[in-house]
Amino acid sequence: MGETGTGGPNDGVRAVLHTSVATFYSNLVTRPAGQAVRVAIEDQLREAQGTSLSILDFSHVGVIDFSCADEVIAKLLRKYMSRDRPSEAFFVVQGVSRDHRDLIETVLQRQNLLLVALEDGRPALWGPAPVRLRWAWHCLGELGQAVAHEFASARGLRVATAASWLKRLASWRLAVPDGGQGFASLPAVLARGMPPDCGRVGPTGGTLPNGAAETVPAGRGGESPAPTVSAGGSGGEGRPPAAL
């Protein structure tokens, strides 16, 4: 079903789990099929017994419909964002085709959810992220891991403001608290959790590249989505938007 790696010593993650979705169904076209995949992923997270980062690999999946995207992705995100979540789990998708991405983005938009994806080995943020939240995600991605005063110093913010944005990223499942005062980006956790070679191969041949609170956070509504920005960019993105 998948493979397990070990998280870095300071990022708060106990296990990095790699699940090749196509080992269950090569075509995800009914809600029961999506439910079966989701339950299997939940079982894997339960067995990890601690904070986990789950990589959902859609390589070799031929077809996926809205009902399966809802069952596999949206319901997982909602469950592990809720106050009564069974454990701390974070999610990254990879191996998603362009057509599948458009469908998944539609599901995320409809349900106001956010998801980190690997696109050709580079992280991207999918879903209706407000501009300022997307900027904070990008900034943490450049730092990899930071406490509030480091984030504030690097980006010209007050420490209290930086701490607020880091907590919001975590509540959206976009950053991992380290158990202390620090937060790690999901790509940084992946980079520390995988072997130092060119990648890790899943059961169906999909390669996993290296490099890779509150239920409703404040500032969730009232802002327009921005275009997707891959982490690691340059230029003006390093400066905070107005009135951050």
For the stretch 112-128, pLDDT in tens is 999 999 998 899 999 99
CA 193 remoteness from chain centre: 15
Q: How far apart are CA 174 and CA 187, in angstroms?
A: 10
Instruction: Confirm whether 217 is domain-assigned.
Output: no
Q: What tens digit of pLDDT does each residue of 7-43 get?
A: 444 457 888 889 899 888 888 888 999 999 999 999 9
Instruction: Confirm whether 85 is domain-assigned.
Output: yes
Q: Which residues pair with 125 in a beta bridge?
A: 116
Instruction: Confirm whether 152 is domain-assigned.
Output: no
Local confidence band at 48 (pLDDT 50, 70, 90 cut-offs): confident
Taking 80 as the threshold, does the pLDDT of residue 217 lie above it?
no
pLDDT value of residue 152: 96
The long-range contacts involving 200-203, CB below 8 angstroms and separated by at least 24 positions, are 200/3, 200/5, 200/18, 202/2, 202/3, 202/18, 202/20, 202/57, 202/59, 203/1, 203/2, 203/3, 203/20, 203/23
pLDDT value of residue 193: 63
pLDDT value of residue 230: 32
- Give, in degrees to the nearest 5, the angle at Cα 216 between 215 and 219: 150
Instruction: Confirm whether 158 is domain-assigned.
Output: no
Query: Is the four-CA dihedral 221, 83, 127, 186 of positive or negative sign?
Result: positive
The mean predicted confidence, pLDDT, of the chain is: 78
Which residues span the domain enclosing 80?
Answer: 2-128+186-208
